[in-house]
């Protein structure tokens, strides 16, 4: 369900994967146990679950949101929390889903939590989610360069972002350890550019030469010109438009399975 949310917005391809990867790196750098790292990664992957209930007219709006539209967007953490209720593994993700927009200074939502009242997982995901938003292209602005986004985080430590975790994140950035994730939708697979809309094309690891890749904003069809094993691979426009069936949201089940497997291995190894 969380993946369907991502697929509905053509400018957030790879967002869930990137945030979960950033979160895993940040937890590891902060000295968090492998078991807790695994739980935070799951929460990061599911953090926007509640956006499944946000209308497309707001979720895909190409210009800035009105105050009323912001109020609708701000319902997604609690909606996500309700969607998780009753699931046997909900405790792995609920803190991140419910509280990733809370802030240390109490100016976040939905509850205005202050300082350490913001759960650890939410503090991690809040940093990673904001960084990915800044370094991703939107219809109304280009992606911010990584150094500029890191400067924004540095300037908001203790207010918008947890200061100790934020300093660890800045250290990761200074060492170049975020660069292979920013602008990518999977390990070693950067987002590809639509000639009209920018970096909206998500290539799946399992795709082969000649397979179609569609821009889910304008519907333009592209073809994978080289195998992913050949670096750099590329996509080429076909000159055709995708049909409704081509543009329907589809989960990348292979990536999700790899994520679950890797997370489970990390969690189990910590208890061995």
72-90 per-position pLDDT tens digit: 999 999 999 999 998 888 9
22's CB contacts (< 8 A; 6+ apart) are 44, 127, 128, 131, 132, 169, 178, 181
**pLDDT score recorded for residue 257:** 87
Quick check: pTM over 0.85? Answer: yes
Cα(79)–Cα(185) distance, integer angstroms: 26
Residue pair 160/186 in contact (Cβ under 8 Å)? The answer is no
pLDDT at 63: 86
Q: Which of 163, 149, 19, 29 shows the shortest CA–CA distance to 104? A: 163
Q: Domains along the chain?
A: 2-185+251-271 (1.10.3210.10), 188-247 (2.20.28)
**CB-based contact 42:263 (threshold 8 Å):** yes
Q: What is the pLDDT of residues 13-54, one digit of tens each?
A: 899 999 999 999 999 999 999 889 999 999 999 999 999 899
Average pLDDT, rounded, for the chain:
91
Residues 107-111, mean pLDDT to the nearest whole number: 97
- Higher-confidence residue of 262 and 33: namely 33
**Cβ-contact 224, 210 below 8 angstroms:** yes
State the DSSP code for 212.
E
Whether 218 has a pLDDT exceeding 70, the answer reads: yes
Range in 151-155, 160-164, 193-197 with the lowest mean pLDDT = 193-197
Report helix angle 15-29 to 34-46, nearest 10.
160
For residues 180-204, give the mean pLDDT.
93
CA distances 162 to 25, 119, 166, 267, Å, are: 16, 11, 6, 25
Distance from the first to the final alpha carbon of the chain = 32
What's the whole-number mean pLDDT along residues 246-272? 78
Q: What is the dihedral of CA 53, 54, 59, 65, to 10 degrees?
A: -160
Contact 33, 40 (CB under 8 A): no
């Amino acid at each position: 369900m969380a993946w369907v949310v991502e697929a509905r917005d053509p400018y957030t391809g790879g967002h869930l994967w990137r945030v979960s990867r950033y979160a895993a790196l940040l937890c590891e750098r902060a000295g968090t146990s492998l078991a807790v790292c695994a739980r935070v990664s799951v929460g990061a992957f599911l953090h926007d679950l509640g956006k499944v209930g946000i209308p497309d007219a707001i979720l895909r709006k190409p210009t800035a949101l009105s105050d009323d539209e912001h109020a609708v967007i701000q319902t997604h953490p609690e909606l996500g929390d309700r969607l998780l209720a009753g699931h046997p593994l909900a405790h792995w993700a609920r803190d991140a889903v419910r509280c990733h927009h809370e802030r240390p200074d109490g100016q976040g939502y939905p509850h205005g939590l202050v300082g350490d009242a913001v759960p650890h997982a939410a503090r991690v995901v809040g940093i990673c989610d904001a960084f990915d938003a800044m370094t991703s292209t939107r219809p109304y602005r280009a992606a911010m360069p990584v150094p500029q986004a890191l400067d924004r985080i540095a300037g908001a430590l203790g207010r918008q972002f947890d200061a100790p975790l934020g300093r660890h994140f800045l250290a990761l950035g200074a060492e170049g350890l975020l660069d292979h994730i920013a602008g990518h939708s999977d390990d070693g697979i950067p987002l590809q550019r639509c000639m009209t809309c920018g970096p909206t094309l998500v290539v799946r690891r399992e795709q082969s030469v000649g397979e179609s890749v569609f821009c889910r904003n304008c519907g333009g069809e592209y073809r994978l010109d080289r195998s992913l094993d050949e670096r750099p691979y590329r996509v080429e426009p076909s000159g055709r438009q995708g049909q409704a069936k081509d543009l329907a949201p589809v989960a990348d089940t292979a990536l999700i399975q790899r994520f679950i497997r890797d997370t489970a291995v990390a969690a189990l190894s910590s208890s061995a």
